[in-house]
Amino acid sequence: MPRPMRHLFALASLALALAGPLQAQTLRWAARGDTQSMDPHAVNEGVTNNINNQVYEGLVERARDQSLVPALATGWKVLNDLTWRFTLRPGVRFHDGTPMTADDVVFSLERAQQPSSQMALYARPLGQPIRIDPLTVELRLTVPDPLLLEHLATVFIMSRAWSVANRAERAPDFNAKEESHSSHHAMGTGPFKLKHREPGVRTVLARHAGWWGRFEGNVSEVVFTPIASDATRLAAVLSGDVDLIQDAPPQDLARLASDPRMRLTSGPENRIIFLGFDQFRDELQSGGVKGRNPLKDKRVRQAIGLAIDRAALRKSIMRDQSQPTGCMTTSRFGCVAAPELEDAPLVDLAAARRLMAEAGYAEGFELTLDCPNDRYVNDQAICVALVGMLSRIKVKLKVDARPKSLFFPKMQNHDTSFYLYGWGGGALDPQMIFDPLVHSLDARSQKGGDNNGRIADAEMDRLIGAAATEMDTAKRQRLLHDALHRIRDEALYLPLHRQTLTWVSRANVKPVLMPSNQVKVTWVRVD
């Protein structure tokens, strides 16, 4: 080769060598809380699912328009109301290079159905998974499931061989503080693989070069850091120490919007923030009432609801970054069966005081409000604001605010009288709230797993059960309508608002906001 040609070839080679690293970028991402487990079946919680969603995949997934599209399955066929057949994507490999087959799918679905799994509520309606051949799985149901694909989207696929080799065949019971190899390690098929995990400090993910999908963005590494303090988290993105934060304080958004270094990405979140009550104990666990539980009386629950100024919460606490509602659904689109419930109840102190007097509590009572301080937007501030609001009907609140690592186990153990909670994700159908939150506790079906106040309403159970198997759309909408109205009429829960999402990133970072508040890292571009 002539010398000039060799020189040009060398320059071209150098340019290509330099171009690779320049194109591949690290995303430094921070949020208020940390993932609770790397096991994809152990914990059903937003941040945990967010991180695991980068590492693991299901047979179906959410597209940008929230529709359900093929992922590890390329397609499916409904043979009858009780039999669904899925064709698996060929050539998919786990992060260790081993191929994914029907054996892994059957293993994962059965694992997610175990009592120790917090995904059992969604996995059990999928019935019995059967291997037909290496790339075909049938789901044989016991009853029809109008939300089968919704349920399937929540269950991630693990490597059977890796799980067996590491004694992780069973999902660890998070509420019992169990851990296994899968709690801190991972083996999925997703676009990123776990590189380093230091709970409470950082989680590092590296791009899976053998991923079957297409990277629309250019992120090659993710460094996720939990930063509990709003001020510290905000300072980190302003200084450039992190690139993206999901939960910026609403009171700072106007200032951030005027900062040319920052990019704000906003939209409604599929998440309802609400209050729940102990409706099981005969004596109030917290407070000064002896021998009685005033929260079992719907008049007291209704009175508390009428004393809450949701508009004030929106203006003063959420800085207009919320949508007050009276409908117990994750989205207004989930309330189509009862749109008349969308408007939030107005404050009516006279009616509230009258109801308290009728129930025998004209002089009020003391009550502890359990609250997370690192999970929802301004969660602790909301709880503190409720102290003043409920004092107007002589309910004397004491706020017990805890980090979610302590708060959620407390709730799961039903160790509460009155609590602030949230529920959300990709699914919009009310059934995805009814089954875990409203149905009475049923160990066999795993329904009621997040019914922390132990509601036991026979009519609600009937409506929920009927809607869960009704394949006629019109009939099912009537059942959902009646169920939503009963939640409101009986004040089983008190919906407050749905959050507005605002992600704050450096100006050179371009994320795609999802209503589920899930960061799809494969879509993120860092320039």
The full set of domain ranges for the chain reads 25-226, 270-499
- CB-CB neighbours of 332 under 10 Å: 16
Work out whether the CA dihedral 387, 390, 392, 394 comes out positive or negative. negative
pLDDT of residue 19: 38
pLDDT of residue 46: 86
158 three-state secondary structure:
coil
- CATH, range 270-499: 3.10.105.10
pLDDT of residue 17: 36
pLDDT of residue 446: 80
What lies within 8 Å, CB to CB, of 41 at 6+ separation is: 108, 111, 112, 114, 117, 118, 119, 123, 155, 156, 158, 171
pLDDT digits (tens, 9 = 90+) for 258-290: 999 999 999 888 999 999 999 999 999 877 788
Give the whole-angstrom CA distance, residue 49 versus residue 36.
9
**Does 1.10.10.10 match the CATH number of domain 25-226?**
no
pLDDT of residue 21: 40
Terminal-to-terminal C-alpha distance of the chain: 37
Give the whole-angstrom CA distance, residue 275 versus residue 301.
10
How would you write 160-212 as a 3-class SS string? HHHHHHCCCCCCCCCCCCCCCHHHHCCCCCCCEEEEEEECCCEEEEEECCCCC
Give the whole-angstrom CA distance, residue 205 versus residue 221.
6
How would you write 31-51 as a 3-class SS string? ECCCCCCCCCCCCCCHHHHHH
pLDDT of residue 501: 87
The strand pair at 68-70 and 60-62 is best described as antiparallel
How does pLDDT run along the chain (527 residues), one tens digit per residue? 444 333 333 333 333 333 344 467 999 999 988 999 999 999 998 899 999 999 999 999 999 888 899 999 999 999 999 999 999 999 999 999 999 999 999 999 999 999 999 999 899 999 999 999 999 999 999 999 999 999 999 999 999 999 999 999 999 999 889 999 999 999 999 999 999 999 999 999 999 999 999 999 999 999 999 998 989 999 999 999 999 998 888 889 889 999 999 999 998 889 999 999 999 999 998 777 889 999 999 999 999 999 999 999 999 999 999 999 999 999 998 999 999 999 999 999 999 999 999 999 999 999 999 999 988 989 999 999 999 999 999 999 999 999 988 999 999 999 999 999 999 877 789 998 999 999 999 877 789 999 999 999 999 999 999 999 999 999 999 999 999 999 999 999 999 999 988 999 999 999 999 888 899 999 999 99
Q: What are residue 93's phi and psi, to 5 degrees?
A: -125, 145
405 three-state secondary structure:
helix
- Containing 4, the helix (H) or strand (E) segment is helix 3-23
Task: Locate 151 and state its tokens.
Answer: 């349920």
pLDDT of residue 175: 85
Cβ atoms of 254 and 262 within 8 Å: the answer is: no
pLDDT of residue 7: 39
pLDDT of residue 16: 34
